[in-house]
């Protein structure tokens, strides 16, 4: 699927996981079994079995795109529950598509024709239907699929990538869209009540008279408002306390005791303590109530990210990302802390004789706060050489601290955190699925049994899945967007009102179909023709080269023969001349001798 057509925050390997099912990876096992059966039959290969045979492909059919896309929305799949695996899946899915479209059209107060025309045009797209082979995957708690996987993940027995498996993803999609999203929105409403009431309390508690009794306090408008905020805060907090207790009952203290759950429990303890101290008028004038209220202000805002991590438009799990980043750089942070403590001790020792003039260094705590202030970028070094016994040493120490910590270590820390955050956010889609699974399990833990019995349609024994094949969508392939531009045949087809894809398909059937002269080997024959054409060009070039070499060779031979002929001619002339000279000399010699 192209990046522009991919659902928001989808897992990057999601298409590959579903394509493995399409290739027959899960069709070998056609039996339906429960999670208990799976654990009993394959205790050592649970995840592998879910990956290989968790879902089974039923078939494909085409449906209008406005029906399919209206059902999918921003998701990549759609799910449907059934009480039996033997259903007419195509007819049932078509009815589901039409029913969902009509419901959304009625909710928008617009006729279906106008809603359909707003998409520009309509076409049929192929969709693929699957069935989850795990019976009761949507059951709540330990009877279903999610809680055993969450327990396994919490014990570090598997990676959170297991939640992207088609069977697990289908279960999450069903539960989230059917009831958990609505329950979480209701939970968000309670938290908003809690947050608003507490911040209103802190605003009006500032100027409250601490000497008033509760009866006297209720006689003032400010007192009645703060007391009302106390009770509203407790009401908003109650659902979360119930969820926490249910989670402890389901997972035990060991499985429950994570850092975030402990922080959540701290917010409950602080809220109850604040209300008790305020209504009981216990140490109102002391600083403990102020400290507890200030801490609660911060913790409640941090807790707000619990809701942002599961809703796609606001997806940013601040605390989860912070936890992962700090986990990566924890030893580097410890090293920086030791550096700051070391410099604080050094400054305290250096100014031990100037404690009255430099109170910021008269104790280790004051010196540490001063070092933190300098590390934050507010380094004021000018007081170091005034009223000091060792001004040069103090200045050298201050400059070295600013350089080592402010310029080197902190910049390295920023780089390390950036790399860590990139790594953490690279699997945003997987972590979204994990967050949804955790929220679903927490909500199901607090549901009473009579709710599960009264609404059995929320927990069907069988799940059916509908998915669009991204390779068959009418989309722009950005990597080849300019390929074929200027092609006269393609341009002519478009100008004549034809469809390029359809024309090429018909042409292929006419020329390269199964019964044509080319047969199914059209592409191979075309490649061979291209290779032969390339060899012909090479042979022609080689022939031209040989002819040029032959022409050059013949011309060079003629030049060599001409040179040799001239040399031989010159040799004969020299021999003749020397012969005549020798003859004259011999005649003279003979004449003399005679």
Summarised one tens digit per residue, pLDDT across range 69-108 is 888 887 889 999 999 888 999 999 999 999 988 888 777 6
Residue 237 sits in the same domain as residue 361:
no
Alpha helices in 73-165 (DSSP H): 89-107, 112-117, 146-154
pLDDT for residue 265: 93
Residue 549 lies in a domain: no
Residue 245 sits in the same domain as residue 280:
yes
Question: What's this model's pTM, rounded to 2 decimal places?
Answer: 0.66
pLDDT for residue 460: 93
How many domains, in total, are found in the chain?
A: 3
Q: What phi and psi, each to the nearest 5 degrees, are found at residue 83?
A: -90, -10
Residue 124 sits in the same domain as residue 66:
yes
Residue range 555-591, pLDDT digits in tens: 656 665 565 555 555 554 444 344 444 444 444 333 3
Last residue of some domain: 290, 317, 344? 317
535 pLDDT higher than 90: no
Residue 383 sits in the same domain as residue 411:
yes
Residue 82 sits in the same domain as residue 22:
yes
Residue 380 lies in a domain: yes
Residue found under tokens 């402990």: 262
Residue 580 lies in a domain: no
Q: How far is CA 178 from CA 81, 175, 181, in A?
A: 10, 5, 7
Residue 345 lies in a domain: yes
Residue 401 lies in a domain: yes
Residue 192 sits in the same domain as residue 312:
yes
Residue 313 sits in the same domain as residue 196:
yes
Residue range of the domain that includes 277: 182-317
The percent of residues in the chain predicted with pLDDT above 70, rounded, is 74
Q: What is the pLDDT averaged over residues 212-234?
A: 91
245 pLDDT higher than 50: yes
Residue 99 lies in a domain: yes
Residue 89 sits in the same domain as residue 18:
yes
pLDDT for residue 19: 63
Residue range 354-373, pLDDT digits in tens: 777 777 888 888 889 988 88
Residue range 103-121, pLDDT digits in tens: 887 776 555 554 554 556 7
Residue 327 sits in the same domain as residue 268:
no
Nearest of 140, 138, 142 to residue 81 by alpha carbon: 138
Residue 124 sits in the same domain as residue 141:
yes
Which is it for the CA torsion 297, 302, 306, 307, positive or negative?
A: positive
Q: What are the beta bridge partners of residue 465?
A: 79, 130
Q: What are the beta bridge partners of residue 128?
A: 60, 467
Residue range 267-312, pLDDT digits in tens: 999 999 999 999 988 877 778 888 999 999 999 988 887 787 777 6
Residue 234 lies in a domain: yes
Q: Cα(523)–Cα(529) distance, rounded to whole angstroms?
A: 10
Residue 563 lies in a domain: no
Q: What is the chain's mean pLDDT, rounded?
A: 78
- Say if residues 50 and 25 touch (Cβ distance below 8 Å): no
- At residue 10 the predicted structure's pLDDT band, cuts being 50, 70 and 90, is very low
Residue 313 sits in the same domain as residue 325:
no
Residue range 390-406, pLDDT digits in tens: 788 888 888 898 888 88
Residue 27 sits in the same domain as residue 119:
yes
- At residue 194 the predicted structure's pLDDT band, cuts being 50, 70 and 90, is very high
| Angle, CA of 479, 484 and 489, to the nearest 5° | 155
Token pair, residue 48, equals 């592998």
Q: Cα(471)–Cα(474) distance, rounded to whole angstroms?
A: 9
Residue range 51-72, pLDDT digits in tens: 888 899 999 999 988 888 888 8
């Amino acid at each position: 699927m192209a990046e522009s057509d991919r659902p928001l925050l989808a897992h990057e390997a999601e298409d590959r996981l579903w394509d493995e099912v399409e290739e027959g990876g899960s069709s070998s096992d056609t039996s339906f079994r429960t999670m208990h059966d799976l654990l009993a039959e394959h205790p050592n290969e649970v995840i592998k079995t879910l990956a290989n045979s968790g879902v089974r492909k039923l078939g494909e059919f085409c449906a209008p795109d406005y029906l399919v896309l209206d059902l999918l929305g921003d998701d990549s799949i759609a799910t449907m529950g059934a009480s039996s695996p033997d259903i007419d899946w195509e007819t049932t899915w078509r009815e589901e598509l039409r029913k969902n479209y009509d419901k959304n059209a009625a909710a928008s107060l617009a006729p279906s024709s106008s809603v359909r025309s707003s998409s520009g045009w309509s076409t049929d797209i192929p969709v693929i239907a699957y069935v989850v082979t795990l019976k009761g995957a949507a059951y709540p708690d330990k009877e279903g699929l999610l809680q055993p996987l969450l327990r396994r993940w919490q014990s570090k027995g598997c990676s959170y990538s297991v939640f992207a498996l088609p069977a697990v993803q289908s279960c999450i999609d069903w539960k989230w869209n059917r009831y958990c999203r609505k329950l979480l929105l209701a939970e968000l409403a309670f938290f908003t009540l809690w947050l608003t009431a507490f911040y209103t309390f802190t605003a009006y508690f500032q100027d409250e008279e601490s000497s008033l009794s509760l009866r006297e306090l209720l006689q003032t408008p400010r007192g009645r408002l703060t007391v009302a905020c106390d009770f509203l805060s407790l009401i908003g907090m109650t659902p979360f306390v119930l969820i926490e207790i249910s989670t402890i009952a389901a997972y035990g203290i060991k499985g429950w005791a994570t850092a975030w759950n402990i922080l959540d429990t701290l917010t409950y303890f602080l809220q109850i303590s604040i209300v008790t101290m305020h209504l009981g008028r216990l140490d109102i004038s002391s600083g403990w109530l102020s400290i507890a209220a200030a801490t609660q202000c911060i913790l409640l805002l941090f807790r707000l990210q619990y809701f942002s991590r599961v809703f796609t438009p606001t997806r940013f799990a601040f605390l989860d990302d912070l936890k992962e980043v700090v986990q990566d750089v924890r030893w580097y942070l410890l090293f920086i802390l030791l550096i700051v403590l070391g410099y604080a001790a050094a400054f305290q020792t250096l100014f031990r004789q100037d404690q009255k003039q430099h109170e910021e260094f008269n104790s280790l705590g004051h010196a540490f706060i001063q070092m933190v202030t300098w590390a934050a970028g507010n380094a004021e070094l000018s007081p170091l050489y005034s009223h000091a016994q060792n001004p040069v040493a103090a200045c050298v120490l201050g400059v070295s601290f600013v350089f080592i910590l402010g310029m080197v270590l902190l910049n390295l820390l920023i780089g390390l955190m950036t790399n860590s955050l990139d790594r953490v956010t690279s699997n945003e889609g997987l972590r979204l699925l994990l967050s949804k699974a955790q929220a679903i399990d927490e909500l199901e833990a607090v549901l009473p049994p009579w709710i599960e019995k009264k609404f059995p349609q929320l927990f069907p024994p069988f799940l059916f899945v509908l998915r669009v094949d991204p390779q068959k969508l009418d989309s722009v392939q950005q990597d080849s967007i300019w390929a074929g531009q200027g092609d006269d045949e393609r341009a002519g087809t478009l100008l004549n009102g034809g469809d390029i894809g359809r024309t090429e398909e018909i042409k292929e059937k006419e020329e390269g179909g199964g019964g044509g002269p080319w047969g199914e080997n059209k592409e191979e024959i075309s490649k061979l023709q291209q290779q032969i054409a390339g060899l012909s060009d090479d042979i022609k070039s080689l022939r031209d080269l040989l002819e040029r070499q032959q022409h050059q060779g013949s011309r060079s031979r003629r030049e060599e023969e001409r040179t040799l002929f001239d040399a031989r001619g010159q040799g004969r002339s020299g021999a003749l001349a020397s012969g005549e000279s020798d003859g004259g000399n011999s005649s003279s010699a003979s004449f003399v001798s005679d």
